[in-house]
Structures are given as C-alpha cells and as structure tokens.
Amino acid sequence: MKPVAIFRHSPAEGPGYFATFLENHSIPWQLFSIDAGDSPPASPEEFAGLCFMGGPMSVNDDLPWLPLAFALIQKAVDLNIPVIGHCLGGQLMSRALGGIITKNPVKELGWGEVIVTDLRAVDWLGEMDRFEAFHWHGETFSIPPGATRLLASRECANQAFVLGPHLGLQCHVEMTEPMIRLWNQAWADEKASPSPSVQTPDQMMEHVEPRIAAMRQAANRLYTHWIAHLAS
C-alpha cells in the first residue's frame, strides 16, 4: 500500500495519535518536516492520502512553502486522494479550496465541546452528536465552496468541514498527554487571559486521561471513515 504523507509544520505539532492510529491499522506513513526544511512532494499521486498537521504560523503569512501546499491539496482533491487537516491543516485545506482564514472572535485554548451540525455526520461520527475536543487556535476557516460544515463550538462556528472523502478540522483530535504538556509550556506566549474559551495549563490537565480517552472515540470514528477511502 502507498504511504500516507504527513506534513509537520512545527516540532511541537507532530502527528500524535493520528500516526498511532495508522500504525494500528497497518497503514504506512511518511513524515515531511516542513519546519526542518523538507520540501513537499510535487504530486500527491505516490501517496494513499495526505495529512496536514498544526502550527503556530498563519495561512495568510508570506511563507515559501504555502503555495506548494495549496497546490498539493488542490491536486489531491482533483484526483480524489483523501486529505485531512488538523487546525492549521484544516485552514490550509479551506484556503486551497477557495475559503478564507480570519481571526476567530476569541482564542480557544484547552478543552471545549464541539457539536455536530449536519445529519450527514453519521458517516463520520456514527450516532455521536457532540464530544469534548482539544483546541489551540486564534484564527478560523470559512467553509469552502461545495463543502459541508460538520462541527461547531460555542466560540467558533466552523470546527470541521467535509468534502467527499476530505476532512478539515479546526480542533485537535490527535492530541496525546505529552503533547498537551508540551504545548502548556508555551501557554504564556499566547498572551490570553483565562476566560470561558481559554483554560490555564492546570485546567487543561484536569482529568486529562479520561478526557483524551473520550476524545479518542470521536477520533477513531473520524479516522476510520477517512482511511476507508485511501488510495491503494
């Protein structure tokens, strides 16, 4: 089977549980560390699917790899090669498919409930109508033309969209406990005071194990539907 290409944009924002899920299903994957200078492949055709992770930069920044990422996503969609994006990755997908990226009304840092917004989500989430996800973002994407909004939260109207086999996420369902601890070291850099949408590191670590276990149920369903469409 062809590998899934995973694109990392920051050392602290690797594939997390997504890679573990692939390995548990005997699906090979190849990491492209954009933050370390790796160049994106010219074409998606040598991969079963593409996965874009998060990062502290903005999709609206002037970065040399961004046009390459947009073109790669667009070509994969044209060829029906499944694409999935987490946070920045979802924003990359939205921008590549004709959406726009803007500041969210508030920052979302920590745990928060997301709600299913479309009945077609049964294909992706079964009978789940809501779950608690992890968040770390100040910008948000619009739903690109032809796509369907899948999830929303109280503070962010667009938490996920689907377009055929493609899934763009604003929230982070890939999180592991070590990743949360690592990100908490940068909490002060966000310059966001505690609020209903911003948790402190201590709040994020409360009941972290059962929270991650509950979120894994949603991640497993989303990822299971996504891999069902991978190119052979």
Per-residue pLDDT 10s for the chain (232 aa) are 999 999 999 999 999 999 999 999 999 999 999 999 998 998 999 999 999 999 999 999 999 999 999 999 999 999 999 999 999 999 999 999 999 999 999 999 999 999 999 876 788 999 899 999 999 999 999 999 999 999 999 999 999 999 999 999 999 999 999 999 999 998 888 888 899 999 999 999 999 999 999 999 999 999 999 999 998 7
Q: What share of the chain is helix, strand, coil (3-state, %, to 5)?
A: 35, 25, 40
From 99, 148, 109, select the one nearest 125 (Cα to Cα): 148
Which CATH code, of 3.40.50.880, 2.60.120.10, 3.40.50.1100, 3.50.50.60, is assigned to 4-227? 3.40.50.880
- What pLDDT is stored for residue 119 in this prediction? 75
- What pLDDT is stored for residue 42 in this prediction? 87
pTM score, two decimals? 0.96
Alpha-carbon gap, residue 24 to 163, rounded angstroms: 26
Alpha-carbon gap, residue 94 to 85, rounded angstroms: 9
The separation between CA 80 and the C-alpha centre of its own chain, rounded to angstroms, equals 19
- What pLDDT is stored for residue 101 in this prediction? 98
Alpha-carbon gap, residue 212 to 215, rounded angstroms: 5
**DSSP state letter for 4:** E
- What pLDDT is stored for residue 157 in this prediction? 97
- Token pair 């989500």 in the structure block, residue: 121
Q: Would you say 160 and 114 are in contact if contact means Cβ atoms under 8 Å apart?
A: yes
Torsion sign across C-alpha atoms 198, 202, 204, 210: negative
